[in-house]
Amino acid sequence: MERIGSRDYTVGIVGLGYVGLPLLWVFHQQGFRVVGIDIDEAKIRALRSGNSYIKHFPQEQMQTLSRSQRCSATADFSVVHDVDAIILCVPTPLNLHREPDMSYIISTTNAIAPHLKRGHLVVLESTTYPGTTDEIIRPTCERVSGLRSGVDIFFAFSPEREDPGNPHFGTATIPKVVGGDGAEALAIADALYSSAIVNTVRVSNPKTAEAVKLLENIFRSVNIALVNELKLVFHAMGIDVHEVIEAAKTKPFGFMAFYPGPGLGGHCIPIDPFYLTWKAREYGLHTRFIELAGEVNTAMPQFVVRRTIEALNDRKKCMNGSRILCVGLAYKPDVDDMRESPTFVVMDLLEREKAHVDYYDPYIPTIPPTREHAAWTGRTSVQWRKDVISSYDAVVIVTNHRSVNYRELLAWSDTIVDTRNAMQGLGAAQEQIWKA
């Protein structure tokens, strides 16, 4: 505790992605020595050379880290022995059966366990099911190292709350929930995060902290599913769901606005709820409400494709052979993060209908390798030019990047399928815009 206060303390962060890299920066800015660990050698080279590989992580900050004597990066897990705290920020995806893929957590735990020493603090930040710290991380580390939790070594869980591209809240300004395996672990973890984060929120144990993150994202998933379902109902009735939401949110109490879309994207909302539904089966419980929300949200890309077919039919065109442009590959506006993006599903469905599909995204010039959409690897974004955009039979707005010139799009395309209400207020002709 004294060493944390005096900054005579080294923080090791495993996983230098959208969560780990900003966290590394925050601790470095507060005077800690930091060590970034990642199996991706490209990330290590980028950190060492000062080249940012994440759009919302500024190049200047990356260069500051690369020049700092208090920052290093490696793919060698043996450095764990030389740090004081190890924070795990590794992926927790779903497998092909929509069940938790714990391989990253398991492999990382196995990699750090041989190098643990007395006094180490081990914190998991990856979103997961309640019980992961108690059932996987602590037993593995104790068995391999021979150290005992709460006596020799300390464990905690503190869920990441990153919102890439959010101009109002960053890693240092979002309150941090912390749950420790015992009072001492909680005190140490709280002291560490309190030194770098605006505020900490203590909970009774890691399992509770793990449940907090799931509640946050399940809340969003269920409410988004509600407005997505209402969009379908109101569309059938000839009612604009966005107009309804804008009017409803004028009520100063009892209502919180959520917005429909083409499906859920990102690493959290499409995935996290299923970690709880999977774990609930162990207790003989079925999370019907959560699973129904998942079904509604997962079906939205099909509605987008149906609306695109209707738009083409109105122009006396057939989907088979038509050229379709999807605007926006990232899962949310103004970021380069395409994890679980519904655009991939929309493009797959359009191609299944025999359309020729391209995409435009100013933040993703080339599609890197992905686990679930390998067929799109290497495809490049088209150029934003009148002759290019006007050559498509229909344009589908899947992600509403603010940098896209929608007035130009309005002038260049006569058939626009708008899944994000991006064209609202631009004076488009009714027959030009198809809301989806």
Distance CA 10, CA 12 (A): 6
With 0-12 / 13-18 / 19 or more C-beta atoms within 10 angstroms meaning exposed / middle / buried, residue 321 is exposed
Contact (Cβ atoms closer than 8 angstroms) between residue 266 and residue 350: no
* DSSP strands (E only) in 7-144: 10-14, 33-37, 71-74, 85-88, 121-124
Q: Label the pairing between strands 85-88 and 10-14.
A: parallel
Contact (Cβ atoms closer than 8 angstroms) between residue 119 and residue 153: yes
3-state SS, residue 396: strand
Q: Which residue shows structure tokens 């299923």?
A: 274
**Active-site annotation, residues:** 268
Cα of first residue to Cα of last residue in the chain, in angstroms, is 54
Contact (Cβ atoms closer than 8 angstroms) between residue 181 and residue 149: yes
Distance CA 209, CA 232 (A): 36
Distance CA 403, CA 397 (A): 13
Q: Which residue shows structure tokens 């660990």?
A: 37
Please, which residues have CB within 8 angstroms of residue 299's CB and are 6 or more apart in sequence? Answer: none
Distance CA 116, CA 240 (A): 58
CA-nearest of 217, 209, 228 to 270 is 217
Let me know the angle formed at the C-alpha of 42 by 38 and 46, rounded to the nearest 5 degrees: 95
Q: Label the pairing between strands 154-157 and 176-180.
A: antiparallel
Residue type, 149: S
With 0-12 / 13-18 / 19 or more C-beta atoms within 10 angstroms meaning exposed / middle / buried, residue 368 is exposed
Distance CA 173, CA 11 (A): 19
Contact (Cβ atoms closer than 8 angstroms) between residue 24 and residue 13: yes
The two structure tokens encoding residue 400: 């509403």
Outline where 238-370 has alpha helix (H). Answer: 241-248, 272-280, 288-314, 342-352
